[in-house]
Structures are given as C-alpha cells and as structure tokens.
Amino acid sequence: MANSSPSAPKRITWIIGLVCGVLGIIGHYANVSVLTEYNYVLLLAGFILLAIGTTFREL
C-alpha cells in the first residue's frame, strides 16, 4: 500500500538502483558494448527502482 510520505527504500533496493545507475553512467562515458547499448535503460531502471522504493514501504 502506498505511503503518504516518502520513506527510505530497503538497502537491497537502494543498492540495485545505485548499481544500475552507475553502470548506465559508465556505459555513457566508456565504450563497453553491453553497457553502452543499454546505458539509458540502466539509468531509467535505477531511477524508477529508487522512486518505487521510496513510494512503497515494503520495497
């Protein structure tokens, strides 16, 4: 159920979101085939995961 105010996401949710974001940034600036191909998807996934994690207390 949605919480009325933002809360901190669980540690694993935060770590996965952070890793996705960092891999997306690396893919943008470095020429790593898989990361470069999906850098925007990784950044978006990390952002969405962190946004969902702060919205729902169980994540």
The answer to whether residue 58 scores a pLDDT higher than 60 is yes
Residue 5's pLDDT is 77
pLDDT (tens digit, 9 = 90+) per residue, 2-52? 546 778 888 998 999 999 999 999 999 999 899 999 999 999 999 999 998
Q: In a 10 Å sphere around its CB, with 0-12 CB exposed, 13-18 middle and 19+ buried, how is residue 42 labelled?
A: buried
Number of domains in the chain: 1
Residue 4 placed within a domain:
no
Residue 19's pLDDT is 94
Residue 45 placed within a domain:
yes
Residue 50 placed within a domain:
yes
Residue 34 placed within a domain:
yes
Q: Which domain holds residue 37?
A: 11-55
Residue 3 placed within a domain:
no
* Crossing angle between the packed helical segments 11-29 and 39-55, to the nearest 10 degrees: 160
Output the pTM of the full model: 0.79
Residue 5 placed within a domain:
no
